[in-house]
Structure 1
Amino acid sequence: MNINQIKAGSIITKSKLPDADYVINPYIGCNHGCIYCYAEFMSRFTGHGNEKWGDFMDIKDGYPMPRLEKFEGKSILFGSVTDPYNPLEKKYQKTRELLKVFAESGVKARAEILTKSALVRRDLDLLTRIPNIRVGISLSATDAKFARVIESHAPSPQERIETMRILSEAGITVYAFISPIFPFFSDWKAVASEAGKYADEICFENLNLRGGYKKRVLDIIKEEYPEKYNDFEKIYSSKEIFQTFWENEAKVIKKFMKGKKYKIYFFHEKIKKA
């Protein structure tokens, strides 16, 4: 893997995401090996040319530590296009360095972390000192074999569920981000049931297929699960079929989650709340 330390002018940037005013990405790149990663488009804007996403990581350095006073009451998400607890965090500790600023500032910005990694447990000493923080754990399925196919280097689903338990028992607000939901493969009911033991909220996002990773996902499904390929591919064969499938799935989610706190992030439209 090509690893570089790069100078960054700032570390907090304005966000266009529906639930985040600002984002922090201490790294460029990610090495979880997710076949569906939408963030690979970043290669075009980071000077990596034709380098394959996952074959490089940039560690941001040289930026001034953020002054958080102007972010009072704002939401700041760690990890919009990288996992802030990717394996390099063990050595470089950029996420921990930034969390120290939040812990010591006393500013009540709404900090949020989204990760697949159990490494977030390392920073419980800081997380418990930060007001208004919450941690999201992303997972797509409880089936470890399927998870290994779609996320070859990421922690197992059970490791992530265990991380939710540990965080919750430490008093951290936790949510589960069931994303992306793979038709016929992601048993989101099982994920929601397991995660719901510890999560304060369940969020759902469907699998979108576009750009360079569409062919990759379809090829892997065809190779690993040929008996389900035709039904899977059909959902993505037209906008109308796609829309109808996920509209129906959203109805099932709403019924299943009735009385519980949840959000549905389908079609990248306005968030549908419980």
Structure 2
Amino acid sequence: MDEVKVVVAHSERATLRVGDVFLKVDADQARIDVEVEAMSLAPVPTPEVLWRKPPVLATAALRGTTLGRLGGPATGSPAAWAAAGAAIRKLHDAPPPPWPGRAGRSIDELTKELDDECELLVTNGVLPADLVTRNRQVAEAALRPWTPAFTHGDLQIAHVFVDGDEVTGIIDWSEAGQGDALYDLATFILGHEEHLDDVIAGYGTDIDLDVIHAWSSLRSLLAVRSLIEQGFDPFAPGCEVDVLRSRM
């Protein structure tokens, strides 16, 4: 029998790997619906759907390895990072799906969520007030009108597989939908901004770096408490709190 490997697990969902098959268990049927539909529409390589029996979605493993993970070493040549940038641009240039995604929340909704979260981070003593205040100022640049794009919504480097300099697939599409393209880019280079020039080389130069940094701060501020509640450590080297400290 193949070894069962836990890829990720928390209160919302879990992903297991059994041999060459990934099993995603998600009690929220709507998220699985979005994932399957988004993969069918995305103009980039995605895992093959093998079968689906709620609450489980089975997909084939992808060739190659990921570019790394947040808080860990990044791998891949400059050409591989550029290839990832080109694949992301191809996604963003495609007609967006008809539903809003994680990267498509309204400015008013995001502003309220951000302000409420910043208050909780300080009053509960999770982060120092000066760190929160500075990153809230940086995050303001993300709170502006944007043109809807086809966004992945959770484009961590651990979700992009490469083989040599070729992108072989992008996984985890449950947050996909219409959104701000720069949110995806900020998520992708979070904690690994040393590769931003390579990504831009593949993506194109029409990128507002202030907005990229703003989304990084905003995303990190919103993630800290929820990650702690799910058993992850945003204070680990290279993770969300280090991203926030880099703005000081």
TM-score with structure 2 setting the length: 0.30
Say which structure, 1 or 2, has more relative contact order (CA 8 Å, 6+ apart). Answer: 2
TM-score with structure 1 setting the length: 0.28
